[in-house]
């Protein structure tokens, strides 16, 4: 099998580390691996598959002879993606920088793999909540054209990276000892104001926009429309941070142009690659963040008719934010390109 020179930008972060876990688990065909990060992390050592790698500071020259560049996200994408493309690499980017660029495909491989071929050097990975949503919605959208979505998310601390997970752990320990907390991470906003996440729910993920929605909420709206090629799809979202470590959950109301039965929906989800049906109310079986953490597939349950509107279904979906919501989706794009000889 042909092997490829791979670079990981952001190798020391949560998504970068998950890239490494998945490359080993899925036996991705790499020849050489380059670990890249900021100047602050340069020089760190990473043990991977029996070899020690030294993390290098990312520069415009870092991508010489690299064929696949996996960007873990962040401001570095805007600075270094053009340099990587110019050096001949295909960039698969986890940041929001290029998602809404009309020249850049935004891809969930199980949903719109045909868009990968349209790339001009950069392929964007969607926001974590969007990817998880679409893994449940796509098989239903294929049954009946979706007209409207109402989404509420319950997002794990992992959405804010290692710092978010560490803060939740510290706060939980402090509160167990009766100590005061000193929040520094949540929410991310324009004000230097933070709230305790432990034993709390914060109805703000990312900064507020002029329309009263947060940036995270508008990502779900705009990215879902782009991936499904449905620019007129009506969507409203509320995103909430909750005190779990990994795996986001979403409550969804989906309205279709015709009746989609619960039985049809369950069958379609059960057959959809990358999704698992977990829906047995009689046995209190349904998806939960704890059960989906560390897993590749999303789980879907609580499927029922929306009794307030015709042709509508309610469902609940959980998926690992760091895996399907980030690193796994990006690596699957690379795997698709390898399988179809696109690199």
For the stretch 128-184, pLDDT in tens is 999 999 999 999 999 999 999 999 999 999 999 889 999 999 999 999 999 999 999
* 291: pLDDT strictly greater than 90: yes
In sequence order, which residues have a C-beta less than 8 Å from that of residue 108 and are 6 or more positions away? 126, 130, 131, 134, 135, 138, 227, 329
- Residue 224: per-residue pLDDT: 98
- What are the structural domains, with CATH classification, of the chain? 4-126+326-339 (3.40.50.720), 130-321 (3.30.360.10)
State yes or no: pLDDT of 190 exceeds 90. Answer: no
Q: Which residues are catalytic?
A: 128, 248
pLDDT averaged over every residue in the chain: 96
CB-based burial label for 52 (10 Å; 0-12, 13-18, 19+): exposed
pLDDT tens-digit profile of 239-253? 999 999 999 999 999
pLDDT of residue 1: 78
- For 36-67, the pLDDT digits (tens) are 999 999 999 999 999 999 999 999 999 999 99
- pTM equals 0.95
pLDDT at 75: 87
pLDDT band at 189 (very low <50, low <70, confident <90, very high): confident
- The predicted-structure confidence for 301-317, as pLDDT tens digits, reads as follows 999 999 999 999 999 99
pLDDT digits (tens, 9 = 90+) for 207-266: 999 999 999 999 999 999 999 999 999 999 999 999 999 999 999 999 999 999 999 999
Separation of first and last alpha carbons in the chain: 13
Q: How far apart are CA 317 and CA 265, in angstroms?
A: 13
Give the model's pLDDT for residue 10: 95
For 194-203, how does the pLDDT look when each residue is reduced to its tens digit (9 = 90+)? 999 999 999 9
C-alpha angle 31-33-36 in degrees, rounded to nearest 5: 160
């Amino acid at each position: 099998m042909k092997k490829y020179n791979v670079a990981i930008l952001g190798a020391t972060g949560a998504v970068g580390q998950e890239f490494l876990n998945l490359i080993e688990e899925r036996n991705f065909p790499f020849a050489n691996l380059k670990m890249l990060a900021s100047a602050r992390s340069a020089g760190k050592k990473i043990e991977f598959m029996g070899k020690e790698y030294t993390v290098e500071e990312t520069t415009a020259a870092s991508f010489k002879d690299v064929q696949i560049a996996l960007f873990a996200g962040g401001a570095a994408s805007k600075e270094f993606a053009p340099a990587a493309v110019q050096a001949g690499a295909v960039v698969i980017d986890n940041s929001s920088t290029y998602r809404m660029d009309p020249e850049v495909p935004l891809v969930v491989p199980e949903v719109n793999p045909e868009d990968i071929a349209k790339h001009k050097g950069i392929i964007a990975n969607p926001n974590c909540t969007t990817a998880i949503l679409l893994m449940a919605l796509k098989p239903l959208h294929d049954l009946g054209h979706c007209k409207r979505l109402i989404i509420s998310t319950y997002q794990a601390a992992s959405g804010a990276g290692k710092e978010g997970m560490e803060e939740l752990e510290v706060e939980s320990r402090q509160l167990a000892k009766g100590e005061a907390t000193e929040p520094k991470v949540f929410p991310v906003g324009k004000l230097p104001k933070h709230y305790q996440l432990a034993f709390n729910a914060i109805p703000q993920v990312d900064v507020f926009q002029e329309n009263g929605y947060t940036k995270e909420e508008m990502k779900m709206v705009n990215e879902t429309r782009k991936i499904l090629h449905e620019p007129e799809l009506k969507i409203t979202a509320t995103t909430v941070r909750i005190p779990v470590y990994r795996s986001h959950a979403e409550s969804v109301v989906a309205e279709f142009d015709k009746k989609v039965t619960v039985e049809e929906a369950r069958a379609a989800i059960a057959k959809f690659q990358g999704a698992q049906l977990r829906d047995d109310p009689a046995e209190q079986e349904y998806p939960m963040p704890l059960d989906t953490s560390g897993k590749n597939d999303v789980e879907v349950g609580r499927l029922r008719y929306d009794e307030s509107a015709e042709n509508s279904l309610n469902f609940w979906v959980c998926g690992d934010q760091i895996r399907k919501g980030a690193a796994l989706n990006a690596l699957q794009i690379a795997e698709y390109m390898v399988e179809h000889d696109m690199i």
